[in-house]
Amino acid sequence: MEDMLFYDRMQFAFTITFHYLFPQLTMGLSLIIVYFKWKFLRTNTLKYNEAAKFWMKIFALNFAMGVVTGIPMEFQFGTNWAKFSELTGGIIGQTLAMEGMFSFFLESSFLGLFIFGEKLLGHKLHFVTGFLVFLGSWASGYLIIATHSWMQYPVGYEILENGKFVLNNFGALFSNPWLLPSYLHNQAASLVTSSFVVAAIGAFYLLNNKHNEFGKLFLKTGVIFGLISSLLVAFPTGDLVAKNVAKHQPVTFAAMEGIFETEKGGSEIVLIGQPNMLEKKLDNKIAVPNILSFLTYQDWNAEIKGLNEFSKDLHPTNIPSLYYAYHIMVGLGTIFIGLMLVAVVQLFRKKLYKTKWVLWSIMFMLPFPYIANTTGWYTAELGRQPWLVYNLLRTADGASPTVSSGNTLFTLLGFIGLYLLLGLLFLMLAGKIINKGPQLNNH
Partner 1 sequence: MELFWYIILMTMLAIYVILDGYDFGAGIIHLFFAKKEKDKKAITNAIGPFWDANEVWLIASGGVLFFAFPTLYASSFSGFYLPLIIILWLLIFRAIGLELRGQIHNKIWETIWDKAFGIASLLLALFFGVALGNVVRGVNLGNVVDGVSTHEAHYFFLPLWNPSFSPHAEQLGIIDWFTLLLGIIGVVALTIHGANWIIFKTNSDINEKLKKVVFNLNIVLLALVIISISVWHIIEPDPFHNFIDKPLLCIFPLIAFIGLFGLFKVKHFKKHGMGFVFSTLFLFGGLTSTVASIFPKVLPSTNNINPDLTLYNVAADEYGLSVGVHWFAIAAVLVAIYMVIQYKVFKGKMDDVGYGEH
Which residue of 167, 203, 304, 365 would you call a contact of partner 1, by CB under 8 A? 167
75 touching partner 1, by CB under 8 A: yes
427 touching partner 1, by CB under 8 A: no
97 contact partners, CB below 8 Å, separation of at least 6: none
Q: Which of 57/305 has CB closer to partner 1? A: 57
Q: How far is the CB of 443 from partner 1 (least distance, A)?
A: 14
Q: How far is the CB of 356 from partner 1 (least distance, A)?
A: 32
422 touching partner 1, by CB under 8 A: yes
Which residue of 35, 93, 318, 423 would you call a contact of partner 1, by CB under 8 A? 93
Which residue of 29, 32, 51, 111 would you call a contact of partner 1, by CB under 8 A? 111
Q: Which of 41/433 has CB closer to partner 1? A: 433
Q: How far is the CB of 269 from partner 1 (least distance, A)?
A: 42
* Backbone CA torsion sign across 405, 410, 415, 416: positive
Closest CA to 292 of 242, 241, 234: 242
The DSSP element (H or E) to which 128 belongs, if any, is: helix 123-152
Q: Is residue 165 classed exposed, middle or buried when 0-12, 13-18 and 19+ CB atoms within 10 A define those classes?
A: buried
Q: Which of 60/228 has CB closer to partner 1? A: 60
- Nearest 5°: the CA angle 148, 151, 153 is 105
Which listed range, 83-91, 310-318, 344-352, 389-397, lies at the site for partner 1 (CB under 8 A)? 83-91
3-class DSSP state for residue 116? Answer: helix
Q: How far is the CB of 51 from partner 1 (least distance, A)?
A: 16
221 contact partners, CB below 8 Å, separation of at least 6: 32, 35, 36, 195, 198, 199, 202
112 touching partner 1, by CB under 8 A: yes
Q: How far is it, in rounded angstroms, from Cα 312 to Cα 251?
A: 10
68 touching partner 1, by CB under 8 A: yes
3-class DSSP state for residue 365? Answer: coil
Please tell me the total number of residues recorded for the chain in this structure: 443
159 touching partner 1, by CB under 8 A: no
Q: Name the DSSP class of 100.
A: I
Which listed range, 117-125, 269-277, 316-324, 380-388, lies at the site for partner 1 (CB under 8 A)? 117-125
Q: How far is the CB of 96 from partner 1 (least distance, A)?
A: 5
Closest CA to 233 of 113, 115, 337: 337
128 touching partner 1, by CB under 8 A: no
3-class DSSP state for residue 263? Answer: coil
115: Cα within 13 Å, side-chain hemisphere: 17
Q: How far is the CB of 11 from partner 1 (least distance, A)?
A: 10
Cα–Cα distances in angstroms (integers) from residue 418 to residues 37, 421, 423, in the given order: 35, 5, 9
Which residue of 28, 72, 376, 383 would you call a contact of partner 1, by CB under 8 A? 72
Tell me the pairing of strands 393-394 and 269-276: unpaired
Q: How far is the CB of 421 from partner 1 (least distance, A)?
A: 9
Q: How far is the CB of 21 from partner 1 (least distance, A)?
A: 15
Q: Which of 37/53 has CB closer to partner 1? A: 53
Q: How far is it, in rounded angstroms, from Cα 54 to Cα 430?
A: 11
Q: Would you tell me which residues interact with partner 1 (CB under 8 A)?
A: 57, 60-61, 64, 67-69, 71-72, 74-75, 77-80, 82-83, 85-94, 96-102, 104-106, 108-113, 115-117, 120-121, 164, 166-168, 170, 400-404, 407, 411, 414, 418, 422, 425, 429, 432-433
